[in-house]
């Protein structure tokens, strides 16, 4: 199985944790954690791992650690499989 890269738009300090997929293929994630001491990034990885059904160690932020726009690598899942799992978890 190959790895995939997901384009993420992270919104910290939200009222609720939520994941949604927009029409352009970007994944919008809102987390309640603030963007202080990497808490929002860790919360994002935890939430994404839960939705994808993979361990947190399979996910890594490869671009945008200090930005709202991020690219996250998912080891062991194709982009199609990751999209299917996210869509199934959201519905």
69/77 Cα distance (integer angstroms): 21
**Percent of the chain whose predicted confidence (pLDDT) is above 70:** 96
For the chain, which domains are there? 4-90 (3.30.1200.10)
- pLDDT category of residue 90 using cuts at 50, 70 and 90: low
pLDDT of residue 73: 96
The pLDDT tens digits of the residues spanning 22-66 come to 877 789 999 999 999 999 999 999 999 999 999 999 999 999 999
The answer to which of 1-5, 7-11, 18-22 has the lowest mean pLDDT is 1-5
Yes or no: say if 9 and 29 are a contact pair by the CB < 8 Å rule: yes
């Amino acid at each position: 199985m190959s790895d995939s890269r997901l384009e993420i738009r992270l919104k910290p300090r939200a009222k609720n944790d939520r994941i949604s997929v927009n029409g352009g293929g970007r994944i919008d994630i809102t987390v309640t954690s603030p963007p202080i001491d990497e808490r929002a990034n860790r919360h994002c990885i935890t939430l994404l791992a839960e939705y994808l059904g993979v361990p947190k160690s399979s996910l890594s932020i490869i671009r945008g650690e200090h930005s709202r726009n991020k690219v996250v690598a998912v080891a062991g899942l194709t982009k199609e499989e990751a999209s299917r799992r996210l869509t199934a978890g959201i519905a």
